[in-house]
Structure 1
Amino acid sequence: MTLDQRASAPASTSRAPVVLSAGVLNRTTLDRQLLLARSGLSPLEAVGRLVALQGQDVNAPYIGLWTRLAAFTQDDLTALLYGRQVVRGSLLRGTQHLTPADDYVWIRPLVQRALSRAARATVGRTMPGVDPEELERLARGHLTGRTLTRPRLRDLLRERWPEADPTALAFSPQGLLPIVHTPPNGTWGRGGATPFTLAEEWLGRSLDPEPSVERLVVRYLAAFGPAGVMDVQMWSGLTRLRPVLESMHFLQKYQDSEGRVLYDLPDAPLVPEDAPAPVRFLPAFDNLIVAFADRGRLMTPEQRAQVCVGSLVHPTFLVGGTVGGMWDLEDGVLTLRPFRPLSDGVAEELAAEGARLLAFAGVEEGSVTVARCEP
């Protein structure tokens, strides 16, 4: 049975929920995220497996794939973007994601209502007198048949609303319309003025008029499960999903140590909590860090407060399967900021993995340093 077929599978025999420890949840999620052992999947298969890669930071998806795949180069993802097999645009929670084109055509329509609602609220709050429907219509007209940078589209819209807030005019269209950002924007080291084009024109096909939310739930659980309703909602940006999951009778039910109901695919294996978990570097905004409302399987509340600050999600490294600290790379120096003292063995493992990261990033004469733990 394929992942998408499971969304319409018949009910299974109910069983009393099994309680899963935080350790089992941790190792199972790491396994599904390709973080227990580097995978032999192709880059395109891996992007699909992960559903969508956070792409606010243009280099983050590259590092996210590098840390998960046995063989991956920067050119691999860049080629997928230029080949239109992977696209970059506003998707889950209205943030930038990279996702396979085959998935974008049904995921974007599924989240469109939430994105439109948020964009219209922004228009109403920041640009009184601007009609969101007219803004959407004009933006579509300007983009039809061509690609425009965000500043250029903003300037065209200001011809109609010269007094409107320029920042709101620049960013609102990507919530109101299915827009993708064309390369070289979004490739390694290439940010800057974002180019906009209509997704249907870039992909050469229409978007799914009747996407299935159950399909999205199945894909989420395959990549992140077992998980609860609030977790799915946090990750997707959708709401009122409890009736959806409760109606998917084929799903396996578990409980966590706090008694919360967790859902999973019926044939998805669980991983023992003592399974080895090597050190791994995760980029800013990594899928794993933002995919749960309750992130106890990954970090403590105190650590979360340091990693997730406002709209920022700092790069992290995993030690023993959980977040061991944060890192940054500047001027060829990879600095590790651990949350607790590191043993000599772990420090050596991190240094070796850090050297691999420097090589992947193209840093020829870099170094790895460990900052002092804060008391």
Structure 2
Amino acid sequence: MTVLGTRALNRATLARQMLLDRAGLPALDAVAHLCGLQAQEPQEPFVGLWSRLRAFDPAELSDLLVRRSVVRTHLMRRTVHLLTADDVLAWRPRHDAMLRQRVLGTYRRELTGVDLDELAAAGLAVMADGQARSMAEIARAVADRWPEPGTRPLGEMLVAALIPMVQMPPRGVWRTKGGVRNTLLSTWLGRDVVPSPPNGADPAGAALVRRYLAAYGPAATADVRAWSGLAGLPAAVASIRAELVTFRDERGRELLDLPDAPRPDPDTPAPVRYLPAFDNALLGYDDRTRIVDDAHRGLSVAGMRVVLADGRVAATWTVESGAVTVTPLRAFSRAERAEVAEQGQALASFLSDGESDEVRISA
């Protein structure tokens, strides 16, 4: 079985994530291809798409959110993602059990004795009037019946697990601040989720695996699990295994992939790219060594924004008063330093609407 080295996997990831060459896609198609963007920090998806798309206009993504073509909701790993409406409707039932278990993992003691089906019914009754509410408001509306857990556990379970909801604009609109106001997914989209088939088949799981490999592969089943948070995917993988090709990584893990997906030459030059907090390219794997050294792995879960040089995490970056500040994690070559500065200036101009293009690179 062919062994794919770390550099080969890196270039495949960059190609699938549109980080090797910026793509000329509409924002909606890019969000779909990426299987959504992690978005608990509301403005970060704009940087993620700026780094991936040619001539990206942030107003395009804001318009998609307002027109309900994309939505903000809890899904993969129980984190807030920006996803297409079609994907949320198809994928949400497949994530229901995981979402419940993850909230229970945090609040099991507080929610002991609470019948979750009854809690869900009570929450739906509250939201049936179509009004948008904060998590705290939803929790307080049912707290008379369940006073012991407290509003935070009740709210988390209702909003992040039991009831498919979306976070309404202006939350997530470009350069707009807004608190989280939730409404029913079915109310917001005028459509309901796609129910799972009763015969035990898992078409949603199989579709997830295919879509994941298109955007992240080649990858091990542990990587699919780490990205999605779903443990019950072996049957889905087995159902499509005949469609896939297999490799090994340098650790001996089996890697799955789509036959015709891009796997560039490992020596393909990789441009400097600025990634937002919690970017897909870092969090989409169990083994992240294809893109970040083990010594810096913690950056991917700490919400640090990172700079890729030669395809790997080489620096962190921040922005303040329109200026981008880069803190290297290793020494840059002269050419790398020039490209980091050039891309940083372009990012500063994007974030400040052309009012600034200042970039500072720490020694």
On whether the aligned pair clears a TM of 0.5, the verdict is: yes
Between 1:339-348 and 1:159-168, the stretch displaced more is: 159-168
Q: Percent identity over the alignment?
A: 39
3-state DSSP of counterpart to 1:152: helix
Match of residue 69 from structure 2: 85
- Partner letter of residue 337 of structure 1? T
Q: 2:188 is matched with which residue: 192, 202, 227?
A: 202
- Cα deviations by residue, 1:270-307 (Å, 9 ceiling, x for unpaired): 100111110000000000000011111101110113x1
Matched, 1:233 2:225: yes
Between 1:334-343 and 1:243-252, the stretch displaced more is: 243-252
Structure 1 residue 122 displacement after superposition: 4.1
Matched, 1:107 2:91: yes
Match of residue 40 from structure 2: 56
Q: 2:152 is matched with which residue: 167, 179, 182?
A: 167
Match of residue 347 from structure 2: 357
3-state DSSP of counterpart to 1:172: helix
For residues 296-307 of structure 1, the aligned pairs below 5 Å read 296-305=289-298, 307=299
* Residues 108 and 350 of structure 1: CA distance in aligned 2, closer, same or farther (over 3 Å): same
Structure 1 residue 135 displacement after superposition: 1.9
CA contact (8 A) 1:119 1:176 kept: no
Unaligned runs of 5+ in 2: 197-202
Between 1:274-283 and 1:184-193, the stretch displaced more is: 184-193
Between 1:288-297 and 1:147-156, the stretch displaced more is: 147-156
- Partner letter of residue 26 of structure 1? N
Counterpart-to-counterpart distance in 2, 1:249 and 1:212: 17
Matched, 1:259 2:252: yes
Between 1:295-304 and 1:188-197, the stretch displaced more is: 188-197
Unaligned runs of 5+ in 1: 1-16
CA contact (8 A) 1:154 1:166 kept: yes
Match of residue 164 from structure 2: 178
- Partner letter of residue 130 of structure 1? V
Match of residue 158 from structure 1: 143
Q: 1:294 is matched with which residue: 287, 290, 303?
A: 287
Match of residue 200 from structure 2: none
Aligned residues: 353
3-state DSSP of counterpart to 1:183: coil
TM-score w.r.t. the length of structure 2 is 0.92
Counterpart-to-counterpart distance in 1, 2:257 and 2:60: 32
3-state DSSP of counterpart to 2:45: helix
Runs ≥4 residues deviating over 6 A:
none
Counterpart-to-counterpart distance in 1, 2:174 and 2:147: 35
Structure 1 residue 244 displacement after superposition: 3.3
Counterpart-to-counterpart distance in 2, 1:271 and 1:138: 52
Counterpart-to-counterpart distance in 2, 1:230 and 1:121: 20
Structure 1 residue 67 displacement after superposition: 0.5
Between 1:205-214 and 1:360-369, the stretch displaced more is: 360-369
For residues 1-375 of structure 1, the aligned pairs below 5 Å read 17-144=1-128, 145-174=130-159, 175-210=161-196, 211-247=203-239, 248-305=241-298, 307-309=299-301, 312-362=302-352, 364-365=355-356, 367-372=358-363
